[in-house]
């Protein structure tokens, strides 16, 4: 009985990793993208040319892990600004759900909707366009449009500090 439980638990750990699409690596060009933010406004990679940004995929608005991760980023928001980094959250939720999430949590950053899962499948946040929720992955993208750092195994309450540790100190 215990052996079956251990095997089932191990399968839960392995299957998501196998199902995840391949992540981009540091130095890779980040794909061009266009998504809608929580206000209904379009946001594109062209809009961010020359800027460093953190694109963090989260599974579902207003769920415990996503709220924990978002609040940690909110707490560190001014430090990201001082270091010239824009924070952008992305999920498969529609703009209205992300708007509610922003309002309830008071997030100072934009949340984007990748409802077609187009970008997600290109960057390893979804194995296919049928995936129900995004994998919890993030990318730090430089002003040159290349990946500075990829985060394939995000831990919600540690992620913000992990990213800040990877950034150069403010000037």
pLDDT tens-digit readout, 3-31: 344 344 433 443 343 344 689 999 999 99
The reply to whether 84 falls in a domain is yes
What is the average per-residue pLDDT within 42-51?
97
CA separation for the pair 76, 6 (Å, rounded): 38
pLDDT of the residue at 169: 82
Q: What is the CATH number of the domain that holds 162?
A: 3.40.30.10
pTM: 0.86
Q: How many residues are there in the chain?
A: 171
Domain count along the chain? 1
Q: Do 125 and 90 meet the contact criterion of CB atoms below 8 Å apart?
A: yes
| CA distances to 21, 23, 55, 123 from 167, in Å | 26, 20, 14, 21
Q: Do 122 and 111 meet the contact criterion of CB atoms below 8 Å apart?
A: no
For residue 103, the Cα-to-chain-centroid distance in whole angstroms is 19
What is the average per-residue pLDDT within 113-117?
97
Q: Do 156 and 72 meet the contact criterion of CB atoms below 8 Å apart?
A: yes
What is the average per-residue pLDDT within 47-71?
97
pLDDT of the residue at 21: 66
First vs last C-alpha separation in the chain? 58
The reply to whether 171 falls in a domain is no
Structure tokens at 26: 């540091």
Domain of 116, in residue numbers: 2-166
What's the chain's average pLDDT?
90
């Amino acid at each position: 009985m215990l052996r079956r439980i251990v095997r089932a638990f191990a399968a839960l750990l392995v299957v998501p990793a196998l199902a995840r699409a391949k992540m981009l690596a540091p130095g890779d060009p980040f794909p061009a993208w266009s998504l809608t933010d929580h206000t209904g406004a379009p946001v594109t990679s062209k809009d961010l040319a020359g800027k460093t940004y953190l694109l963090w995929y989260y599974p579902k608005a207003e769920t415990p892990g996503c709220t924990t991760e978002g609040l940690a980023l909110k707490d560190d928001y001014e430090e990201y600004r001082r270091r010239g980094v824009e924070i952008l959250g992305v999920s498969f939720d529609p703009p209205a759900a992300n708007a509610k999430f922003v309002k309830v949590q008071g997030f100072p950053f934009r949340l984007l909707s990748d409802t077609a899962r187009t970008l997600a499948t290109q960057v390893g946040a979804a194995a296919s366009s049928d995936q129900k929720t995004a994998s919890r992955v993030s990318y730090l993208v430089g002003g040159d449009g290349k990946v500075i750092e990829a985060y394939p195994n995000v831990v919600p309450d540690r992620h913000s500090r992990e990213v800040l540790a990877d950034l150069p100190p403010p000037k």
